[in-house]
Amino acid sequence: MATQIPPGGMFTMAEGLTVTRVGYGAMQLAGPGVFGPPKDRDAALAVLREAVELGITHIDTSDYYGPHVTNEIIKEALHPYPDDLRIVTKVGALRDAEGGWPHARSPEQLRQAVHDNLDRLGLDALDVVNLRVGGFDSPEPGSLTEPFGALAQLQQEGLIKHLGVSTVSAEQVTEAQSIAPIVCVQNFYNIANRADDALIDSLAAQGIAYVPYFPLGGFTPLQSGTLESVATLLEATPMAVALAWLLQRSPNILLIPGTSSVAHLRENIKGAALPLSENELTELNSIG
Ligand SMILES: NC(=O)c1ccc[n+]([C@@H]2O[C@H](COP(=O)([O-])OP(=O)(O)OC[C@H]3O[C@@H](n4cnc5c(N)ncnc54)[C@H](OP(=O)(O)O)[C@@H]3O)[C@@H](O)[C@H]2O)c1
């Protein structure tokens, strides 16, 4: 059991589901393009073990990372899991031969995906399953009633403890909530991409976690002169400022920065603690 709590403290998503606000996104542990095995499997195992050692209790994954690779590495590194560790996975897509991410949202595909996650992670029930609904980084219009209803059925069967949604609009969040409670929303958001500002505030009012993916820009590192200049002033990196800004943006924001490097993992946890003054926050808020 970890003895230290990373910056930002803890957030309770539901009974029995309290996590550190600084978590870890495991997607970068697969090979290039999130396809195939990592270049250095021992390094990938080391990142996960270090994350837990440094107090992180929230790991984000999917069985379609690799595919399968990331979950296999999580199990190898951490199973049997510490009591306080919560693993959040997502379903709703597959990988194709070209490395694409086609939707896979029929009830049969979702049932299979849940079983694939259970098997590869070595679990009897999944802590949280997010239904991925939209495209690469933005929502697509349409109803999620059939796929989300299928996941709610799997929750009723005891295979899933809690549900969330990913790459969704505010309307789709409301639609999901009319079917079953959600504990988190995982969407594309960072200091330079602020389309979800209103959604974050409405989820905060309901006590629902908002988990931004690509917090550091994802496949394209964040580029902003303002971010650079605030970082230089604070003698910090732009990554540290971007993570610290997210932690201070709203108490319901949980961080899942991804990295394949122990050094970057340590930097990110330390960086998230960077204090930002009102003046710096005002300047940073102008970026979005
Ligand atoms: N719901 C969805 O549809 C969805 C989509 C995408 C991602 N996600 C989740 O969100 C998590 C985070 O997204 P992400 O990993 O794609 O993007 P990210 O966290 O914004 O950025 C990761 C990139 O930043 C680099 N990096 C991390 N820390 C660094 C540091 N201190 N210094 C320099 N470079 C650093 C990483 O390279 P190194 O490996 O070299 O550190 C990697 O290239 C994923 O792991 C995944 O779990 C969900």
Among 65, 189, 210, 213, the one annotated catalytic = 65
Q: Decide: 215 in ligand 1 pocket, CB within 6 A.
A: yes
- For residue 259, the CA-to-ligand 1 centroid distance in Å is 6
What local confidence, expressed as pLDDT, does residue 145 receive?
98
Distance, in Å, from the CA atom of 127 to the CA atom of 13, rounded to the nearest integer, reads 11
Tens of pLDDT, residues 104-152: 999 999 999 999 999 999 999 999 999 999 998 999 999 999 999 999 9
Half-sphere exposure of 243 (CA within 13 A, CB side): 29
Q: Which two tokens stand for residue 4?
A: 């230290």
What local confidence, expressed as pLDDT, does residue 41 receive?
98
- Percent of the chain at pLDDT > 70 equals 99
- Which residues have a Cβ under 8 Å from the Cβ of 120 and sit 6 or more positions away? 63, 68, 71, 72, 75
**E strand residue ranges, the chain:** 10-14, 17-20, 24-25, 58-60, 86-91, 126-132, 160-166, 184-188, 209-213
**Banded pLDDT at 3 (limits 50, 70, 90):** low
Residue 1 above 80 pLDDT? no
Distance, in Å, from the CA atom of 124 to the CA atom of 255, rounded to the nearest integer, reads 26
Tens of pLDDT, residues 215-258: 999 999 999 999 999 999 999 999 999 999 999 999 999 999 99
Task: Give the rounded distance of the alpha carbon of 154 from its chain centre.
Answer: 21
* Catalytic residue check, 189: no
Nearest CA, atom 25, ligand 1? 259
Nearest CA, atom 48, ligand 1? 213
- For residue 239, the CA-to-ligand 1 centroid distance in Å is 11
- Ligand 1 pocket test, candidate residues 35, 216, 241, 268, most atoms within 8 A of CB: 216
Q: Decide: 259 in ligand 1 pocket, CB within 6 A.
A: yes
Distance, in Å, from the CA atom of 137 to the CA atom of 187, rounded to the nearest integer, reads 8
**Banded pLDDT at 80 (limits 50, 70, 90):** very high
The letter for the amino acid at 228 is E
Q: Decide: 260 in ligand 1 pocket, CB within 6 A.
A: yes
Would residue 169 be called left, alpha or beta, if left means φ above 0 and alpha means ψ between -120 and 50 degrees?
beta
Tens of pLDDT, residues 39-58: 999 999 999 999 999 999 99
| Measured CA distances, 80 to 1, 132, 159 (Å) | 12, 27, 18
Q: Decide: 20 in ligand 1 pocket, CB within 6 A.
A: no
Distance, in Å, from the CA atom of 74 to the CA atom of 71, rounded to the nearest integer, reads 5
Residue 100 above 70 pLDDT? yes
Across the chain, mean pLDDT equals 97
Tens of pLDDT, residues 15-34: 999 999 999 999 999 999 99
Q: Decide: 134 in ligand 1 pocket, CB within 6 A.
A: no
Residue 2 above 70 pLDDT? no
Q: Which atom of ligand 1 is nearest to the CA of 26?
A: 45
Strand partners, 24: 59
**Banded pLDDT at 99 (limits 50, 70, 90):** confident
Tens of pLDDT, residues 181-217: 999 999 999 999 999 999 999 999 999 999 999 999 9
- 3-state SS, 129-187, equals EEEECCCCCCCCCCCCHHHHHHHHHHHHCCCEEEEEEECCCHHHHHHHHCCCCCCEEEE
Q: Are strands 126-132 and 86-91 parallel, antiparallel or unpaired?
A: parallel
Cis peptide preceding 67, ω within 30 of 0 = yes
